[in-house]
Amino acid sequence: MLTIICSNTAHAHLINDVLGYYGPAFRAWLDQDNTRIVVLKPNELYRDASPCLRQYNVDDWPVAPAGLFCVPEATVYIRTLCRMTIAHEVVHAYDRARGSGAYFSAADPTVRRLFSEARNFVTPYAAVSIDEWFAECGRALNGSGNNPQSPWPEATPQRLAECDPSMYEYMSTLIAQPPARESVAA
C-alpha cells in the first residue's frame, strides 16, 4: 500500500493532488510496490531519514537535492515540497514499481530504443540519463508538476508531445495500464 509520511495535512493533500493527475492505474502500481513518500521535517537530514541515503553523503553535496528516490527502500524522500519535486520523484517510484524492484526504464526495450532515438528533450535534465528522462517525461504528463521558480521550460503534456511524440504516446499508454492482478488461489 502507498504510504505518505507527513506531519502536515496540507502537504499530504498536495502530494495526493499531484498523484491524482496520473490517475488510478499509476497509483495502483505504487500501492502494489508498497511505495512510501516521506516528507522530511524541518532541518531533518536525508542521512537521518534513510539508511540507504546515509551511505551516499547526500547532505554534504554542495546543493542538497529537493527530493530523492531510494530504489532499495521504494521510498521517495522530499525536502522541498513543490509539485515539480513530487511529480518527478513519484515517477521514479513508478519506474521501480513497473520494473518489479529495479527501474523498468533500464530494461524495457521500447523505452531504451526511444531514449536512444531522442533528439529533443522536454527539459535539459531529461538528457542526463534514461531514468531521469523517464521521470521528466512522466512529470510532463502530469501537467501540474512545474515550479514557477524553475529556470527550465515547463514540462507539460503538450511540450512532451512536441519534443518527443513517440515517448508521449508510449508513456501515456504505460501510465494508463494498471498492474496485473495477482491470481488468487481458490
Residue pLDDT tens, the chain, 186 long: 999 999 999 999 999 999 999 999 999 999 999 999 999 999 999 999 999 999 988 999 998 899 999 999 999 999 999 999 999 999 999 999 999 999 999 999 999 999 999 999 999 999 999 999 999 999 999 988 888 888 888 999 999 999 999 999 999 999 999 999 753 444
φ, ψ of residue 68 to 5 degrees: the values are -145, 150
User: N- to C-terminal Cα distance for the chain?
Assistant: 23
21 domain residue, yes or no = yes
CATH of the domain at 89: 3.40.390.10
184 domain residue, yes or no = no
Residue 35 burial (10 A CB sphere; 0-12, 13-18, 19+): buried
Domain containing 41 equals 3-176
31 domain residue, yes or no = yes
DSSP string, 9-40: HHHHHHHHHHHHTT-HHHHHHHHHTT-EEEEP
Query: What is the number of alpha carbons within 13 Å of residue 47 lying toward its C-beta?
Result: 9
145 domain residue, yes or no = yes
Nearest by Cα to 66 from 75, 54, 77: 77
Number of domains in the chain: 1
49 domain residue, yes or no = yes
90 domain residue, yes or no = yes
- 147 and 82 in contact (C-beta within 8 Å)? yes
- The 10 Å Cβ neighbour count of residue 147 is 16
47 domain residue, yes or no = yes
186 domain residue, yes or no = no
Nearest by Cα to 114 from 134, 95, 90: 134
